[in-house]
C-alpha cells in the first residue's frame, strides 16, 4: 500500500534573510523570469464551513482536525502593514481568500483598513474577495459599505443533489443564488461565478450552468480540476479540458474568443456570438499560464508563497514579530520575488502525471485559490 503524506502547515518555512543593503521600493518589481508583482492574495482564515471534495474533503478535515489557534493568525494590523509593503512594490489588486473568508470575525474592519491603501501613483486598489456564498446574502451590503469592490462566488452546480455532493455539507444552491443577488444589489461587481469541473461528478452541469448565467450580470468561469496539495486525491483522468468545455457550450450557444482584460489574467475569455455576455476558462492543467503569472500569496499565519503549487513559503510573520522595520521587510520581499522561478503548471503540462518538487505541495485551503 502506498503511503500518502498530506501537508497543511510546513514547519520548514523559514524567516527570509534580509540583505545587508536595504532598498527603497520603486513600484516596479520583476521576478527571475521578468514577471511583475501585481496581485496579492491574502488568506484570512484556514477554516471553511464547506467540505468540498476538491479542496477540504471531509475524510481529512473532520471534527478532529486541528485548525490554527487565533494567536497564530495575522492580525488585521499585520495584514494591512504587509499589504502596504506589497503595494509599494507594484501590487494593485488585493484578493481576500480562505478557507471561507467571511468566517473571519469583523472582516469588514480589515476591508476598511485595506480600502484606505493607495498605489505609489495615488490610485485606490482593486479590493476583491472570493467566497462560497454561504454568508453573502447577510454580509453583502456591509462588505460594500466597508470598501470592498467586488466578489467572486464559487458554485459548482445548479442541481441541488450534485451541489450537495460536492460541498458535502447539505448546502442548497438557492442560498448561493440569494447571495449572488444580494451582492449584485449591493454593487459588488462585476461578479464572477467560479465552477470547478470534476469529470464524472459535475461535468454534466457545464451546459446548464452556461445557459442559466447567459445574459445575466454575472461572468461564469470554468476551472479545470487542479492538483493543488495532496488531500483531494487528484487524478488527471478527472480533468475535463477547457477546450472540451468550450466545445460543449458552443454546440448549443456559439462562442467567440476575446482578448484578455490585462496581462496575467487567469481566465481566457469567450463571448457569446449573439452578444449576450461572456464566460471564462481557467486552464492551469491543460493550458498553463505561468509565463505571465503576477500573483503572490500570503497564508493565514503570514507565510509568503510565490506559487499556488509551492512546497514551502517564507515566514513574514516572524519578521513582523521580531520588530523588523518596514525597510527591512520591504527589502526581504523584494529579494524573495526577484529570486522567483516558479512555473509548476507549465512543467506539469509536459508531464501531466504530476511532478515531485522536493516535498508535498501546500493545500489550497491554507493559501487560497
| Binding residue positions for GTP | 41, 95, 130, 192, 295-297
Annotated binding site: 41, 48, 52, 54-55, 95, 99, 130, 154, 192, 226, 290, 293, 295-297, 307
Measured between alpha carbons, how far is 47 from 57 in angstroms, rounded to an integer? Answer: 13
Measured between alpha carbons, how far is 279 from 287 in angstroms, rounded to an integer? Answer: 17
| Strands of the sheet with 191-197, listed across from one edge | 255-258, 268-272, 278-282, 218-224, 191-197, 150-154, 126-131, 93-97, 39-43, 295-298, 303-305, 314-315
Annotated binding site for [4Fe-4S] cluster: 48, 52, 55, 290, 293, 307
User: Is residue 192 within 8 Å of 152, Cβ to Cβ?
Assistant: yes
The pairs formed by 117-121 with CB atoms below 8 angstroms and a separation of 24 or more are 117/80, 117/83, 117/84, 117/87, 118/87, 119/27, 119/87, 119/92, 120/25, 120/27, 120/87, 120/88, 121/27
Measured between alpha carbons, how far is 36 from 363 in angstroms, rounded to an integer? Answer: 25
Read off the C-alpha cell for 300.
493565514
In angstroms, the Cα distances linking 293 to 19, 22, 29, 36, 272 are: 25, 26, 13, 8, 27
Annotated binding site for S-adenosyl-L-methionine: 54, 99, 154, 226
Q: What is the per-residue burial (b if ≥16 Cβ within 10 Å, else e) of 147-183?
A: bbbbbbbbbbbbeeebbeebbbeebebeebbbbbebb
Read off the C-alpha cell for 175.
442560498
Amino acid at each position: 500500500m502506498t503511503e500518502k503524506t498530506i501537508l497543511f502547515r510546513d514547519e520548514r518555512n523559514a524567516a527570509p534573510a534580509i540583505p545587508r543593503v536595504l532598498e527603497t521600493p520603486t513600484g516596479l518589481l520583476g521576478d527571475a523570469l521578468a514577471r511583475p508583482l501585481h496581485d496579492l492574495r491574502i488568506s484570512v482564515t484556514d477554516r471553511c464551513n464547506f467540505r468540498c471534495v476538491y479542496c477540504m474533503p471531509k475524510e481529512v478535515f473532520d471534527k478532529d482536525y486541528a485548525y490554527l489557534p487565533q494567536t497564530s493568525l495575522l492580525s488585521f494590523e499585520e495584514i494591512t502593514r504587509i499589504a502596504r509593503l506589497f503595494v509599494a512594490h507594484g501590487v494593485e489588486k488585493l484578493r481576500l481568500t480562505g478557507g471561507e473568508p467571511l468566517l473571519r470575525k469583523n472582516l469588514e474592519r480589515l476591508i476598511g483598513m485595506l480600502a484606505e491603501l493607495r498605489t505609489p501613483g495615488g490610485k485606490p486598489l482593486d479590493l476583491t474577495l472570493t467566497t462560497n456564498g454561504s454568508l453573502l446574502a447577510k454580509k453583502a451590503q456591509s462588505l460594500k459599505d466597508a470598501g470592498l469592490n467586488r466578489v467572486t462566488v464559487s458554485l459548482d452546480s445548479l442541481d441541488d443533489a450534485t451541489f450537495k455532493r460536492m460541498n458535502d455539507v447539505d448546502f442548497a444552491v438557492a442560498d448561493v443564488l440569494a447571495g449572488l443577488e444580494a451582492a449584485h444589489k449591493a454593487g459588488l461587481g462585476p461578479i464572477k461565478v467560479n465552477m470547478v469541473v470534476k469529470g464524472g461528478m459535475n461535468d454534466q452541469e457545464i451546459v446548464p450552468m452556461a445557459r442559466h448565467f447567459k445574459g445575466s450580470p454575472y461572468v461564469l468561469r470554468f476551472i479545470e480540476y487542479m492538483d493543488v496539495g495532496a488531500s483531494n486525491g487528484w487524478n488527471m483522468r478527472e480533468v475535463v479540458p477547457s477546450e472540451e468545455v468550450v466545445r460543449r457550450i458552443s454546440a448549443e450557444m456559439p462562442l467567440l474568443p476575446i482578448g484578455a482584460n490585462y496581462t496575467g489574467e487567469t481566465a481566457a475569455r469567450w463571448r457569446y456570438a449573439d452578444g449576450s455576455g461572456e464566460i471564462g476558462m481557467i486552464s492551469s492543467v491543460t493550458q498553463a499560464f505561468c509565463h505571465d503569472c503576477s500573483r503572490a500569496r500570503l497564508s493565514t499565519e503570514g507565510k509568503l508563497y510565490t506559487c499556488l503549487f509551492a512546497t514551502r513559503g517564507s515566514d513574514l510573520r516572524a519578521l513582523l514579530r521580531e520588530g523588523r522595520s518596514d525597510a527591512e521587510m520591504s527589502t526581504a520581499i523584494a529579494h524573495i520575488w526577484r529570486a522567483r522561478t516558479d512555473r509548476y503548471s507549465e512543467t506539469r503540462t509536459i508531464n501531466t502525471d504530476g511532478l515531485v518538487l522536493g516535498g508535498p505541495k501546500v493545500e489550497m485551503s491554507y493559501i487560497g485559490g
